[in-house]
Structure 1
Amino acid sequence: MEGLPVTTVDRTVCDLLKSRADAGHLGRLIADADRKGFTDTRILAARIQPFTRFYGLHRTASGDELIESLTEPAGSTCATTS
């Protein structure tokens, strides 16, 4: 964008999850992106499911469960569907 490299919110979230970024910061990022319409949390949930174990969830947990566990402590919720 205007000569600067950019990525989508979903790609940024995945990159941050890969680097095991702070869960609180990720939760706020996801909640803000959802609230502003920058992401579709149903699609994001599918992309982030492989990272559930990194954030203390069982390996079979869903991406929706990861989103909930990241956003809930920040007092935010996202409209995901299981």
Structure 2
Amino acid sequence: MSNTLHVDYPETFPDALHMSRAEFEREASLAMAAKLFEIGRLSSGQAAGLIGMGRVAFLAELGRLGVSTIQVGAEELEGDLAAAEAASDHPQ
């Protein structure tokens, strides 16, 4: 079973953005999925599935929206930094 999200928007939005109604709605859906991916709420596969897009196509669209395809959390980044520092302290 799936649910539907309904978003009201002014009739003038698509024209103002030089898009058809379908293009605007696709772009809005993509932006929502991309943001949910960017903040770590959904995986790339989940975000792509949310909008009925393949994962590879979704990842390709992220660059256009300015969203990195690689999402690294602060904890993981700190661990990588500590490992790099430890490695530089003990060169081989």
Same fold (TM over 0.5): no
Superposition TM-score tier, normalisation by shorter sequence: 0.3 to 0.5
TM-score where L is the length of structure 1? 0.38
TM-score where L is the length of structure 2? 0.35
Taking CA–CA contacts closer than 8 Å with sequence separation of 6 or more, which of the two structures ends up with the larger relative contact order?
1
